[in-house]
Amino acid sequence: RKGTVIITGASSGLGLATAKALAETGEWHVIMACRNFLKADKAAKSVGITKENYSVMHLDLASLESVRQFADTFRRSGRPLDALVCNAAVYLPTAKEPTYTAEGFELSVGTNHLGHFLLARLLLDDLKQSDYPYKRLIIVGSITGNTNTLAGNVPPKANLGDLRGLAGGLNGIQSSAMIDGGDFDGAKAYKDSKVCNMLTMQEFHRRYHEETGITFASLYPGCIATTGLFREHIPLFRLLFPPFQKYITKGYVSEEEAGGRLAQVVSDPSLTKSGVYWSWNKNSESFENQLSKEASDAEKARKLWEVSEKLVGLA
Ligand code: NDP
């Protein structure tokens, strides 16, 4: 049978390119989990994904209620779940003030981490029940959260501190809107959320890999300088960033190539190792990359898991 994969944020950029790459194999039915139904449907058609290979289901990660509804709707569809890709993200580098999710969490961490955390937890049982030979839960990471790299050392650097802001509710009222309790910084909030994504993947691996056989993995697909992720950035940045990445850092990848990489992590029979953070070298070969000290801190991962459980209402 065909596999079923859910991809969040499949309406543009990496998510869309991955949806296309998987749908084209004819071996996957792609569920595009998106906040804007019409945009997602148009996007699928615009890249030529054929009708029988996809469906769009509404998901707004900035609302835990919506995440719960999505899980219910998915279950009622009667489809098995063979792979889940947590890909959607917001990046608000120029925001002066924090904005918030429906439940009042700072928007970048609320969407990129907490929304996905609840989604992945709710759908874990569905993945467990799948009889597909390879079951995978992929959470897209990023180099920017990894302070052991050049890109990760561009300030403001990611730092979750002792999680005091998160534990306080991340709401800018009783607590800071930042995980570490510091002053709001939109670029840092995004990087922090990516560290959370990578820590969450590893904690899933430690808690569930042996028992379930599910492969948990993360990846840095390369710098896809052309996606909508940079839509909130100043115009000069948007103009110069793609050529800078292409010719200076040489970290640039096209959306199509990055989509191929994520599709590989979802479906390649040779990439079944769990607990891995994948990257690609200059020849586009995948390798297991090292995470920064903070992004591989097992104690922090456990604490993040427990605090997040409380915030999303699982504990
Ligand atoms: P895009 O902005 O093109 O895509 C982000 C997607 O997330 C969009 O489909 C967007 O939906 C969706 N989204 C945002 N908020 C929500 C929400 N509340 N509910 C549901 N969906 C939402 O960016 P990219 O494709 O570049 O980013 C995809 C992933 O790749 C992210 O995890 C990012 O961190 C990661 N990444 C990107 C890199 C890059 O260089 N671009 C490098 C490393 C990692 P909508 O279409 O409705 O706006």
The tens-digit pLDDT sequence of the chain (315 residues) is 999 999 999 999 999 999 999 999 999 999 999 999 999 999 999 999 999 999 999 999 999 999 999 999 999 999 999 999 999 999 999 999 999 999 999 999 999 999 999 999 999 999 999 999 999 999 999 887 677 777 777 789 999 999 999 999 999 988 999 999 999 999 999 999 999 999 999 999 999 999 999 999 999 999 888 888 887 888 888 888 888 877 777 778 899 999 999 999 999 999 999 999 999 988 889 999 999 899 999 999 999 999 999 999 998
228 alpha carbon – ligand 1 mean position (Å): 7
CB atoms inside a 10 Å sphere around CB 16: 27
Question: How many residues does this entry show for the chain?
Answer: 315
Report how far residue 298's alpha carbon sits from residue 295's, in angstroms, rounded to the nearest whole number: 9
Q: What is the pLDDT of residue 199?
A: 97
pTM equals 0.97
190 is catalytic: yes
CA of 86 to the centre of ligand 1 (A): 10
Sheet containing strand 286-288, edge to edge, reads 54-58, 28-34, 3-8, 83-86, 136-140, 215-219, 276-280, 286-288
Q: Whose CA is nearest to atom 10 of ligand 1?
A: 9
Q: Which residue's structure tokens are 């390879």? A: 134
pLDDT at 262: 98
For residue 240, the model assigns a pLDDT of 84
Q: Which of 180, 186, 183 is nearest to 168 (CA)?
A: 180
Give the model's pLDDT for residue 6: 98
Three-state DSSP state, 147: coil
Q: Active site residue: 190, 220, 252, 277, which one? A: 190
Q: How far is CA 74 from CA 26, 71, 147, 156, in A?
A: 21, 5, 37, 38
Q: Is 229 in the pocket of ligand 1 (CB under 6 A)?
A: yes
Q: Is 39 close to ligand 1, i.e. is its CB under 6 Å away?
A: yes
pLDDT of the residue at 251: 77
The atom of ligand 1 lying closest to the CA of 101 is 18
Q: What is the pLDDT of residue 18?
A: 98
Contacts of 134 (CB under 8 A, 6+ apart): 82, 83, 215, 267, 269, 272
Q: State the ipTM, two decimals.
A: 0.99
pLDDT value of residue 243 = 84
Give the span between the Cα atoms of 199 and 195, in whole angstroms: 6
Token pair for residue 93?
Answer: 């580098």
Q: Which of 8, 14, 39, 192 has the most ligand 1 atoms within 8 A of CB, as the residue to mutate?
A: 14
Question: Ligand 1 in contact with 58 (CB < 6 A)?
Answer: no
How high is the pLDDT of residue 214?
A: 98
